[in-house]
Amino acid sequence: MKCHEVDYQILGDDIQIVEIELDPGETVIAEAGAMNYMDDGIAFEAKMGDGSSPESGFFGKLVNAGMRAISGESIFLTHFTNSGSGKKRVAFSAPYPGKIIPIDMAEINGELFCQKDAFLCAALGTQIGIAFTKRLGTGFFGGEGFILQRLRGDGLAFVHAGGTVIKKQLHGETIKVDTGCIVAFTEGIDYDIQRAGSLKSMFLGGEGLFLATLSGTGTVLLQSLPFSRLADRVIASAPRVGGSRKGEGSVLGSLGDLLGGN
Calpha distance 201→189 (Å, rounded): 27
- Within a domain: 240: no
- Within a domain: 2: no
- Within a domain: 199: yes
In this predicted model, which residue has the larger pLDDT, 240 or 16? 16
- Within a domain: 51: yes
Q: What is the pLDDT of residue 22?
A: 97
- Within a domain: 261: no
- Residue 51's domain is classified under what CATH number? 3.60.160.10
Owning domain of residue 157: 7-231
- Within a domain: 244: no
Per residue in 11-60, pLDDT (tens digit) is: 998 889 999 999 999 999 998 889 999 999 999 999 877 877 665 555 55
- Within a domain: 128: yes
Helix (H, G, I), strand (E, B) or coil at 71: coil
Calpha distance 20→10 (Å, rounded): 9
**162 Cβ partners below 8 Å, 6+ apart?**
96, 97, 98, 223, 224, 225, 226, 227, 229, 230
CA distances to 104, 176, 207 from 159, rounded to whole Å, are 11, 22, 26
Query: What sign for the dihedral angle of Cα 236, 238, 242, 243?
Result: positive
**What's the pTM value of the predicted model, to 2 decimals?**
0.78
Domain count for the chain, please give it.
1
- Within a domain: 105: yes
Per residue in 203-220, pLDDT (tens digit) is: 554 455 678 889 999 999
